[in-house]
Amino acid sequence: MRVLVTGGAGFIGSHVVEALQARGHEPVVFDVRDDPDSDVRDREAVARALSGVDAVCHQAAMVGLGTGFADAAEYVSRNDLGTAVLLTAMAEAGVRRLALAGSMVVYGEGRYTCGRHGVVRPGPRAVTDLAAGRFEPRCPVCREAVSPGLVGEDTPADPRNVYATTKLAQEHLASAWARSTGGAAVSLRYHNVYGPRMPRDTPYAGVASFFRSALARGESPRVYEDGRQRRDFVHVRDVAAANVAALEADSAAGALVAYNTGSGEPHTVGEMARALATAYGGPEPVVTGQYRLGDVRHITADSSRLRAELSWKPEVAFVEGMREFARAGMRGS
């Protein structure tokens, strides 16, 4: 299978390229890092790149929190306009198979259970609570403590920043494309991806990258809030394998199917910082109590659907992955 990989020179995309090659496929890299003309917003460039292609793995995106609106137009242009141009070209070229880099950020806060009111969806955390160090969400009905759980794909979307909004819009565009063309689309909703070639010293990198960059400078990783916020850290090679599984699967035509893509083993951000610092050889993390508006408290995945339907499972354990990441090379951007 000849597969166009947008963003194929990037962090996740480069691992997807290697995973495709290992399975005997022919990846075609389309990335502005390699060629300034390889922009998914360029209709002619995309049309040329799709020549002879059987499927597309769409990894190209502007990533990060996007908490304010200063970059909103750029996020929408790169992520949503770019996706629309790509899908239009795919429709015209007769390419009917798509794997999309989705994100867990479309959910907003994770799944919570209140002892009195069952499953609830807390709203955004108040600045007054965050400033006072009250980081845990409360039941929106009785204001009592709630317990975090795993988020399933059927959870209603609740994007809480610009980036999250564009990732949800990408899914809607892909779904509309699938219905219109009879194509098969899969959105892999990545959780916190980490591993070799992660970008360093960039405002759009993930928390693992920030911690690793600090350690390389001889500085302590700075952990926001109290470090007890839960995430699902999934290794980039496992994410790449999920993309290959999605492209090889006999997916339903005319629809988009979303799959959570996580390790299935929640860890706190503080745990991750300590594991990485230990593997690197110090210094120890510092819990700052600071916060960022737009961050959610707990978001962890139920990836059982991906395991069951695509026969995928993560292979890199948390401790093993952090040991490797502690010594792995990183990208400048």
Query: CA 140, CA 27: separation in Å to the nearest integer?
Result: 48
pLDDT, residue 146, reads 97
pLDDT digits (tens, 9 = 90+) for 306-322: 999 999 999 999 999 99
pLDDT, residue 295, reads 85
CATH number of the domain that 10 lies in? 3.40.50.720
Exposure of 142 in the CB half-sphere (CA atoms within 13 A): 11
Query: CA 188, CA 57: separation in Å to the nearest integer?
Result: 11
pLDDT, residue 70, reads 87
- Tell me how many degrees the CA angle 110-149-162 measures, rounded to the nearest 5: 10
pLDDT, residue 63, reads 85
Considering the domain boundaries, does residue 119 fall inside one?
A: no
pLDDT, residue 331, reads 80
* Cβ atoms 290, 250 nearer than 8 A: no
Strand bridging mode 111-114 / 118-120: antiparallel
pLDDT, residue 184, reads 98
Helix (H) or strand (E) holding 69: none
pLDDT, residue 292, reads 87
Considering the domain boundaries, does residue 118 fall inside one?
A: no
Burial of 16 (0-12, 13-18, 19+ CB in 10 A): buried
pLDDT, residue 305, reads 97
Considering the domain boundaries, does residue 130 fall inside one?
A: no
Q: For residue 333, what are its two tokens? A: 């951007």
pLDDT, residue 200, reads 84
Q: What is the pTM of this model?
A: 0.94
What residue numbers bound the domain in which 19 lies? Answer: 2-110+151-327
The structural domain count of the chain equals 1
pLDDT, residue 294, reads 73
Tell me which residues are annotated as active site: 163
Considering the domain boundaries, does residue 280 fall inside one?
A: yes
For the chain, how big is the Rg over CA atoms in Å?
A: 20
DSSP structure class, residue 327: H
pLDDT digits (tens, 9 = 90+) for 61-94: 998 765 568 889 999 999 999 999 999 999 999 9
Residues of the chain with pLDDT under 50: none
Considering the domain boundaries, does residue 133 fall inside one?
A: no
